[in-house]
Amino acid sequence: MLRMKRRLSACVRWVFVCTILLALATRVQGQVAFKSPGSDTIKIVKILSDEIYHSEQIDSVTTITTLVHHVEIQQETTLIFCDSLRMNPHEDYIECFGNVHINDKDSVNIYSDYMKYLVSRKFVHFERNVRLTDGKGILTTDALDYDMNLRMGTYDHGGKIVNKESVLTSDHGIYFEDSKDVHFRGNVILRDPQYGKYVVIFDPLDGSSNIDVNISVGTIFSIFRRDLKNIDPRDPSADVLQVGTKQIGAGYVLYGPSTMLIYSTGHGVHGFTLDPSFGAYILTHRDIKMPETGPYYSVNEANLGSFPTGYQEFIAHLREGKSGTTYSSRYVGSLVADFHRTLLKGGVFCYPPTRKHAQGKLRLMYEANPIAFLAEQAGGIATDGERRILDIKPDSLHQRTPLAMGSRREMTLLAEMLKRHKAN
């Protein structure tokens, strides 16, 4: 009898174990149906793995499912891993806690300590120690919102992206999964400049003295490529002080009745106008060409008496119409505004050396160089009165230079007069 009881007890234990294992196997391959409020669409989330399962009926329509330890679930192609999670099908969300990892069967993987996943929308909010990897770089931030349908994410609490070429930080950013690029906004800083490919030099507010009287001002920029063959620690000025012919891009933004971006990358000059309704720059001036001659000369005639003799004769020649053209004087005092008119209408702009500024007043690196680059790309000429601006080898970042630029007819005449007076 004792032997039979032992056998019966063993059988009961075996049946109990088998029942538990069967239940676990069934639950591991179980699924939960989610329904978005106000929609008849059903989304299925499969439970692939967990160690502890708990389901609690909150009310007549709400059931909270909790999974703990080595959790793995799947919705369509999206895989989610975490230490534990809580599902609320009625409210259409899943909350994940600890060692969160999500992947949509592509190269993008996102990790965090916490995640809230809106199932029907496939929209995810990550918090704490967020890290996104895509094979190109690593983005880290404190919080990230990610739309898996649009394949893009945004952060607004500071972020850093590290790749083979640079380390960049910014206050805000938009990540685009298809191109694996980040659009940075707000306090953008290149943290490790030894990895940067380019050098950007700019005058943030040209013509700033005109702000108080509501006259057009602008931003001028110049772009150079860095020499990456010798990236050993060196003086940053070695990357900055390059001759103007090595510019790979230049341009300016003009803040006037309309806001315009004019730029060139060495293949002509193009103009874009800001359309506030779209929040974007629209191409409005394709392949701008400076006229061969124009009706305007632009110079601060208050300083005429201190100009070199050749410049004085040139201005008098234009003013008196000796070339057969009746010229008008136009001078704003903002380089971008005066150049923009010259670029579109033709003529000449001059800022010669004076007794007060014998080496000229305009800055070579972030005023004369980019403007000269644009002038030449548009078919014009830019010199310091003796040599091409783009051929001047800079000695310092804030080096000054005289500047004369404009249409070919006027610039050829100026060169002839300056050469003649220099010879005498």
- 267 and 368: one domain? yes
- 282 and 241: one domain? yes
Q: Per residue in 328-372, pLDDT tens?
A: 999 999 999 999 999 999 999 999 999 999 999 999 999 999 999
Q: Per residue in 282-330, pLDDT tens?
A: 999 999 999 999 999 999 999 999 999 999 999 999 999 888 889 999 9
Mean pLDDT of 161-165: 78
DSSP, res 66: E
pLDDT of residue 22: 39
Q: Per residue in 75-128, pLDDT tens?
A: 888 999 999 999 988 888 999 999 999 998 778 999 999 999 998 888 999 999
pLDDT of residue 29: 52
- 184 and 262: one domain? no
Sheet holding 269-275, edge to edge: 198-206, 217-225, 247-255, 259-264, 269-275, 280-288
- 354 and 283: one domain? yes
- How far is it between the farthest Cα atoms of the chain? 135
Mean pLDDT of 269-274: 97
Domain end: 170, 190, 210, which one? Answer: 190
Q: Is residue 2 part of a domain?
A: no
SS3 call for 229:
coil
pLDDT of residue 27: 43
Confidence check: pLDDT of 26 > 50: no
- 143 and 169: one domain? yes
Q: Nearest CA to 99 among 81, 72, 123?
A: 81
- 248 and 380: one domain? yes
- 324 and 202: one domain? yes
The count of domains in the chain is 2
pLDDT of residue 247: 96
Q: Is residue 175 part of a domain?
A: yes
| Range of the structural domain that residue 179 is part of | 33-190
Q: Is residue 20 part of a domain?
A: no
Give the global pTM. Answer: 0.59
- 328 and 395: one domain? yes
Domain end: 190, 214, 235, which one? Answer: 190
CA angle at 274 for the pair 271 and 275, rounded to the nearest 5°: 130
Q: Is residue 10 part of a domain?
A: no
Q: What is the CATH number of the domain that holds 404?
A: 3.40.190.80
- 61 and 98: one domain? yes
Q: Per residue in 226-260, pLDDT tens?
A: 877 765 566 677 888 999 999 999 999 999 999 99
Confidence check: pLDDT of 164 > 80: no
Q: Is residue 90 part of a domain?
A: yes
Q: What is the pLDDT confidence band of residue 3, given thresholds at 50, 70 and 90? A: low
Q: Nearest CA to 62 among 35, 82, 43?
A: 35
The upper half-sphere exposure of residue 299, i.e. CA atoms within 13 Å in the direction of its Cβ, equals 31
HEC string of 262-322 equals EEECCCCEEEEEEECCCCEEEEEEEEECCCCCCCEEECCHHHHHHCCHHHHHHHHHHHCCC
Q: Is residue 369 part of a domain?
A: yes
- 205 and 294: one domain? yes
Q: Which residues contact 235 (CB under 8 A, 6 or more apart)?
A: none
Report how far residue 64's alpha carbon sits from residue 59's, in angstroms, rounded to the nearest whole number: 10
Q: Is residue 104 part of a domain?
A: yes
Q: What is the CATH number of the domain that holds 80?
A: 2.60.450
At residue 76, φ and ψ (nearest 5 deg) are 55, -120
Average confidence score pLDDT of the chain: 87
Which secondary-structure segment (H or E) carries 4? helix 2-28
- 186 and 257: one domain? no
DSSP assignment of 67-110 equals: EEEEEEEEETTEEEEEEEEEEETTTTEEEEEEEEEEE-SSS-EE
pLDDT of residue 28: 42
pLDDT of residue 13: 58
Q: Which residues contact 128 (CB under 8 A, 6 or more apart)?
A: 112, 113, 114, 142, 143
- 290 and 208: one domain? yes
Report how far residue 140's alpha carbon sits from residue 106's, in angstroms, rounded to the nearest whole number: 19
pLDDT of residue 229: 72
Q: Is residue 25 part of a domain?
A: no
pLDDT of residue 401: 96
- Which residues in 230-243 are b (16+ Cβ under 10 Å) and which e? eeeeeeeeebbbbe
Domain end: 164, 190, 216, which one? Answer: 190
